[in-house]
Structure 1
Amino acid sequence: MFATKTFLSSVFLAIAYASWANAIQERDIQPSLSTRHVHHVRRDFKVDVFHPASTFETFGTGLETDVSIEARAPTDLNSTALAFVQSRLGVDASSVGFKSGFTARNEKFAYVKQYHDGVPFINAVANVAWKNDKVVSFGSSFVKPQRFASTRPTVAASSVISKVEAAFDGKYNGFPVGLEYLAQDDGSAALVHTIQVQNEEVNSWYEVYVDAHSGEILSATDYVADASYTVLPIHKRALPEGQETLVDPQDDLASPSGWHTIGTASSVTTSGNNVVAYKTSDTGLTSQSSATLNFDYPYDIALQPAVAANLDSARTNAFYIINTVHDFTYRYGFTEAAFNFQNDNFDKGGAANDRVRVSVQDASGTNNANFATPADGQSGTARMYIWTQTSPQRDGSLENDILVHEMTHGITNRLTGGGTARCLQTTESRGLGEGWSDALADWTEQVPEIKDYVLGDYVTNNPAGIRTRPYSRSSTVNPQTYATIRGITAVHRIGEIWANTLHNVHAALVDEYGWSETARTNPEGTEGNVVYLHLFLDALALQPCNPTFVNARAAWIQADANRYDSANRCLLWRAFASRGLGINAVSGTYTDNNDIPADC
């Protein structure tokens, strides 16, 4: 979600969050940021969500071969992952089930669910990573419930769908209802029906967990995270920097059939294998302006966004930006097998039929944007709004940092937890999600000398943008550190702290190794911005479900060990420690620690 500093009159969840956060700061809820989140669905209805705390271990170069099953080479990723989790956690074979996994270079990743009597848990998962067939990291939120509800439901799912629709002001979307266990904070495990409901008008999309014995709504996953062609090239931030006409910008590796082909079918509209950009419905597309696949629709800033030519320009730019992010992140590992967004996966793994849907000038809101990320196999949806603080009004689809921010929500929600989209749901992990989204937008627009970075300045007509401070290496310009989290519950404010930390990591890497102009298309370079993006995406696949800041930092250190044999270990530690995430920082304390390893 792309929230602003000022309260905006909008009906959807992200903006409502800002108003209730202030009201609850008087009580001490800080220790729960890593395990809880409150969904305020309506003024009179909220859901307090619990996720078991995750543990996360990293093992540097890997566990040695004499460490029993824990170091066994994953010749069969499924069975080896299950055996490792059984051994590490001391559980039996009936308690674990393989969820998903993929291989990238000399690394392997597996995601395992906890089971009881053949029924999986929603919020108890584990993830294992190997490098060169040695285990290098392990995360787990497995639980040991004291009480289990019966595996046979006594309340039919069909009887509670209408209740869920009413409570969440949405409609059941037809996705198959599931039956799973939900670990609760009182030590019990509830049997629940999983029911998806959506409301297109207010941009909501929830997976709701209803007690299969009492019919009570217990919890929910919120899938929405508040995200030739004449376009604004991705390295530019906003419309005043000037549109350009780009010829064949697609990456033939990431999009081998181009941007306008799905299987054997081709289109001459803003619709293709990775993205469909539309107004109102999937059929409200922009068609080519002249010869085949020419989309020449310059934006006229003197006119309102809704005029025909400006609407076509907005759809074209959104189509271009989301495709471009798809393509460069593909090069860095966000592939079909790693749960990306494509309708046709070309038999390369992962679930298909889930291209990104981008609704431009969406009528359901103003002055914001959001991205809904369901599990692999269901389309992610970005909603881009018109901003009303200027005359003429301004279109969020013509400010690239907003589009990149929203698409990054899809990436981080898919890569964390193995494609489930359920693993960034606590307040702290949702804050990290906002931070990653800002940080990737920052990465796309930087130049060889990393400069202070501001988001949302064009649409708001405010040079300060929409965050409280610019992202900066200067502690005067931006003094935020890990300790700044204390007392904060708004996820965008938490996200600022992580984004600023990563801004400093990026700057340190560019200082050390220089900057590549071809980083988006050549991930083989040794320059600092290339190294940064590799570690950015690698760490997402390593970290546990619902990570904390300390978990996320540990995943970066382990990602460097995996890919670069810890060549950047001390540089990374110094950068993280400079913002309070030193080696002795402890999850949940939100106390700065500036220590680095003794050998650094």
Structure 2
Amino acid sequence: MKLTSTMSGYRALALAALLAIPALGSAQNAPLERALSQLSAQRSRLGLSELDLTNPAVTNQYTDKHNGVTHIYLRQRHEGIEILNAVADAHVTSAGKVTALHSSFLPNVATAARATKPTLTPAQAVEAAARALQVAAPRGLNAEVAATPAEGLTFTDGGISQDKIKAKLVYLPVAGGELRLVYDVLLWPTRSDDAWSVRVDAATGALVDKYSYTVHEPVTFAQLTERAVQVMKLPEAAPTQASKVNVPNSYNVWPITVESPNHGARQVVATPADAVASPFGWHDENGVAGNEYTITRGNNVHAYDDRNNRNVYIASQNLSPDGGANLEFNFPYDPAARQVGNLKLSITNLFYWNNLLHDIMFRKGFTEASANFQQMNYTGQGLGNDQVKAEGQDGGGTNNANFSTPPDGTRGKMQMYNWSAAPGSLIVASPASVAGTYPAGLADFGRTVNSLGANYRGKLVLVNDGSAKPSRGCNGPFLNPAALNGNIAVVDRGKCSFASKVQFAQAAGARMVVVVDTTGAATVGGMTGASPDTVGLRIPAVFIPQGLGDRLKQAMEGGGIVMVGGTGGAGPDGDFDNGIVAHEYGHGISNRLTGGGTGACLPTSTNGLPNETMGEGWSDFFALWMTTKPGDVGTTPRGIGTYAGNEPTTGGGIRRKRYTTDFTVNNHTYAFIGTGAGQYSATHDVGEVWATVLWDLNWALINKYGYNADLTAATGGNNIALQLVLDGCKLQKCIPGFLDGRNAILKADSLNNRAANSALIWQVFARRGMGFNAVQGTASVGDNTAGFELPTVLSTQKVLSEKLVEVYPNPAADQLTVRTQVSSKVPVQVELVTVLGRTVLATSASAAHIQAEGVRLNTTELANGIYVVRLTTSEGTITKKVMVQH
């Protein structure tokens, strides 16, 4: 009887679901039936009634060609109305096995839902949403196709939205367990960066909740940049003219793997569109041979400038560069020019990289069916009308970028901003004879030049301290305070400390100080100040070479007014930092693949608590992966955003630590999450830890399988790694945590490679504290516990591989660190022995200590040469060679 009842309930469930999607063919029905049967079979474990499982909506279903897995995404319904955030995903192999199933379906929905009929119409709901966002009421609002409120209606933009407005009647779970009947309105105000999901009460129109589909980089993005920039910017390449060689269908850009103008030269790339991913090229939109556009617009992306922050493309007001009938996008580059001087090249580079990302990720399974970004879906699968709008040199901000990922069927948007000139730069605005941006040394006291604001302009004024050498500024108060007040004091080096000069200038009312070197050196370093000299200093100061100082003084003495600007000079253009472009596009990838295209399964917080949000981590990984070139090695530290941040290629970038497999440089582990007074609860900090372990995985697979320069191929460790990461996004639950992500990658390897890399994956994750004994808790930050152990089957083999022990640095000079993730029931004995077998150093530590922190051996007194590290555990002995070299 029990079996009959279960099957009867399942059949009703399956029939209702299949009726909800009549377009599905029989080939698709079989995996869906399997998924629904499995969900019904687990009803008791999930605490659900048969009624709770009745008639779920299938929000997406597709089958991956590379492994035959069918991914099915469901949303719970009551009385035919969908319930927001109540979702399930099931993944069925080609053999019909449900290999993964997750559910957040809610129990007792019939009791929790207190209304089934709305009072407002969908159009009235749109008006209510507009009021809630404090934008004008819509005008001429018309529905495109007749539909019921529960099916959802698509309206015109009403003159208030950047895209079409959508409204759907849904239930929203609220505090206390109630299901509130609301309209979910997708509204993207014309003057807003945010694409909003606005939830208004279906009876009163009152705002109940709202959710932004836009991933913003936080304000600390700029602060991190400022903190990292403590070095001179590398000299830019000389201006380059466009190549005179006529190459049809070509783009003169920084091509694939070249991260920025600092990382390599421009090249003319001909016919780069992938024949599988973009079969009609990059300028098509109708799926018929022949280009619809000769500007930077096509099926995958429309790139244009938005310098005036209009958030919309108007042909007469925005630039979308034209390559002519032959599609030759070949424009000059002048690194010394203001951004507008390189605008055509900037937008072309943005267009090229967005298309590259589309094509490469398409080959790895981010296809039309899996909710990628295309205006027309050539296969007819998935929803079209959602090319990326890539807005270059966006006027909506500086030192930043963002990406909006509304649900499948609504266009994504990337906004790339200009970045400030380096804090270590002096920007001379006028006169023309000395205008330019010059390298300058920084002070380790006071504030930075950026603190003056982008629009600051001040006159240079030479100080007079009343001494025999009045421009030294060592005697106070100065004799010309009226001239200095609100302007920029110029002082010469010598006699007194830098800080003393700045103190006197500040007292005279100066807003900034320019210190001129007097040694004749061609370049200068920074300025230091010792307490108590620096106490109370609030104005910025920079240090410039004598040659530049003499030129500025000459212009001043000639009666000219020399004006120096704040940060509004020609800083880097974010459109040329290809790593940041890839990072932003990466938000679209992870948001669309997780949860089947809803764009809402990676919230940064839930119920006010920060989540283990991995979105920033996936995006950093994509940025690093797309810019890895043949010959690179995993131990090389790599920063994110070094070009945008005015740093050399070896700079620290805009993250806490550079990415590398070298644990001495980047020691991020799962233990960092939610620790240090919340230091690792912010979105980017949490994402850094996730990107670190993905980067380790990438290099572990490259070390095993090699690097393949063909980034569309299936072979090579780098391609295998990317495939696992993308498939992991598809297989994980909605609102995942770190261990959910780890398990999804392990599952992907079992499906793609018959678990050939399972041991390697466990080793990589265990090394960073996401081992077998790690505990995730919820997906919120702070209830996790790091664990460094390997699964028993890997850590109890009597013949243990040297790959399970890590020694660094190697060669070692004064200290050697030894780590392993192997378990041991007794203290681990650690020895350093000569090649002749003589023990020269020995210690012991618990398995937990050596897994998490390792042990350190003092090698200061050892002779140079080759030694062997020997670890003795209850599970076996491991040895590994190491060199000592002082």
Task: Establish whether TM, by shorter chain, passes 0.5.
Answer: yes
Q: Distance in 1 between matches of 2:164 and 2:285?
A: 24
Alpha-carbon separation, structure 2, partners of 1:430 and 1:403: 23
Paired residue for 1:504?
696
Partner of 1:489: 681
Corresponding residue number in structure 2 for 1:98:
58
Per-residue deviation, 1:218: 2.4
Question: Are 1:89 and 2:43 an aligned pair?
Answer: yes
In the alignment, what sits opposite 2:841? none
Shift of 1:275: 0.7
Corresponding position of 1:419: 597
Alignment-mate amino acid for residue 476 of structure 1? T
Could you tell me how far 1:515 is from its partner in structure 2? 0.9
Preserved contact between residue 86 and residue 96 of structure 1 (Cα < 8 Å): no
1:453-468 to 2 correspondence within 5 Å? 453-462=638-647, 463-468=651-656
Residues 424-573 of structure 1: matches in 2 within 5 Å?
Answer: 424-427=602-605, 431-447=613-629, 448-450=632-634, 451-462=636-647, 463-486=651-674, 487=678, 488-518=680-710, 520-523=711-714, 525=715, 527-573=716-762
Partner Cα distance (1:430, 1:203) in 2: 24
For residues 238 and 481 of structure 1, what CA distance do their matches in structure 2 show? 29
| Offset at residue 164 of structure 1 (A) | 3.2
Give the Å deviation of 1:143.
Answer: 1.3
Per the alignment, residue 108 of structure 1 pairs with 70
Q: Which amino acid aligns with 1:522?
A: A
- Residue deviations 1:538-574, cap 9 Å, x none? 1111111111111111101101111111111110011
Whether the aligned pair in 2 keeps the contact of 1:274 and 1:343 (CA below 8 Å) is yes
Partners in 2 of 1:422 and 1:290 — Cα distance?
40
CA distance in 2, matches of 1:393, 1:86: 58
The answer to whether the Cα contact below 8 Å between 1:231 and 1:243 also exists between their aligned partners in 2 is yes
- Which of 130, 143, 161 is matched with 2:92 structurally? 130
- Structure 1 window deviating more from structure 2 (211-220 vs 418-427): it is 211-220
Match of 2:280 in 1: 257
CA–CA distance in structure 1, aligned partners of residues 29 and 116 of structure 2: 34
Corresponding letter in the other structure for 2:176: D
Q: Kindly indicate whether the alpha-carbon contact (under 8 Å) linking 1:376 and 1:419 is maintained by their aligned counterparts in 2.
A: yes
**Correspondence 1:193 to 2:183:** yes
For 1:270-309, list aligned pairs within 5 A.
270-280=296-306, 281-282=312-313, 283=315, 284-289=318-323, 292-307=326-341
> Deviations for 1:81-140, whole angstroms, at most 9, x for unmatched residues?
333323323534524222211001311110011011111111110000022321111111
The code of the aligned residue for 1:239 comes to P
Contact 1:270–1:285 (CA<8 Å) still a contact in 2?
no
Residue equivalent to 1:9: none
Query: Does 1:175 find its partner at 2:175?
Result: no
Change (3 A) 1:367 1:269: same
TM superposition shift of 1:152: 1.0
C-alpha deviation, 1:202, in angstroms: 3.6
**Kept in 2: contact 1:361–1:395 (CA 8 A):** yes
AA of the residue aligned to 1:135 = V
Q: Which has the larger radius of gyration?
A: 2
Q: What's the secondary structure of 2:165's corresponding residue?
A: coil
For 2:184, the aligned partner's letter is T
- What letter corresponds to residue 379 of structure 1 in structure 2? R
Q: Which has the higher contact order (CA 8 A, sep 6+)?
A: 1
The separation in 2 between residues aligned to 1:287 and 1:395, in whole angstroms, is 17
Task: Answer whether contact 1:226 1:369 (CA < 8 A) is retained.
Answer: yes
Deviates more, 1:251-260 or 1:189-198: 189-198
User: Contact (CA 8 Å) 2:640, 2:655: kept in 1 or not?
Assistant: yes
2:198 paired residue number: 208
Q: How much is the aligned-residue C-alpha RMSD, in angstroms?
A: 2.2
Q: Distance in 2 between matches of 1:493 and 1:165?
A: 34
Q: What is the distance in 1 between the residues matched to 2:712 and 2:120?
A: 53
8 Å CA contact 1:82, 1:98 repeated in 2: no
Task: For 1:220-239, list aligned pairs within 5 A.
Answer: 220-226=210-216, 228-239=250-261
Q: Sort the Cα spacing of 1:465 and 1:535 in 2 relative to 1 into closer, same or farther, 3 A.
A: same
Distance in 1, Cα, partners of 2:76 & 2:645: 46
**CA distance in 2: counterparts of 1:564 and 1:335, whole angstroms:** 21
Q: Deviation of residue 445 (structure 1)?
A: 1.5
**How many Å separate the matches in 2 of 1:513 and 1:248?**
30
Is residue 121 of structure 1 aligned with residue 155 of structure 2? no
Which position in structure 1 is the counterpart of 2:788? 594
TM-score by length of 2: 0.57
Aligned counterparts of 2:612 and 2:298: Cα–Cα separation in 1? 30
Counterpart residue identity of residue 199, structure 2? Y
Q: Against the structure 1 CA distance between its residues 290 and 348, is the aligned structure 2 distance closer, same or farther, given a 3 Å change threshold?
A: closer
Partner of 1:43: none
Compared with structure 1, are the counterparts of its residues 289 and 112 closer, same or farther at alpha carbon in structure 2 (3 Å cutoff)? closer
- Determine helix, strand or coil for the equivalent of 1:383: strand
In 1, the alpha carbon distance for the partners of 2:772 and 2:765 equals: 9
Distance 2:112 2:284 in 1: 52
- For 1:18-417, list aligned pairs within 5 A: 75-90=29-44, 91-92=50-51, 94-105=54-65, 106-132=68-94, 133-144=96-107, 145=109, 147-159=112-124, 161-170=126-135, 171=160, 174-226=164-216, 228-240=250-262, 241-263=264-286, 264=288, 266-280=292-306, 281-282=312-313, 283=315, 284-289=318-323, 292-307=326-341, 310-390=342-422, 391-417=569-595
CA contact (8 A) 1:424 1:430 kept: no
8 Å Cα contact 2:638/2:652 also seen in 1:
no
Letter in 2 for 1:458: Y
Cα distance between partner residues in 2 of 1:323 and 1:273? 9
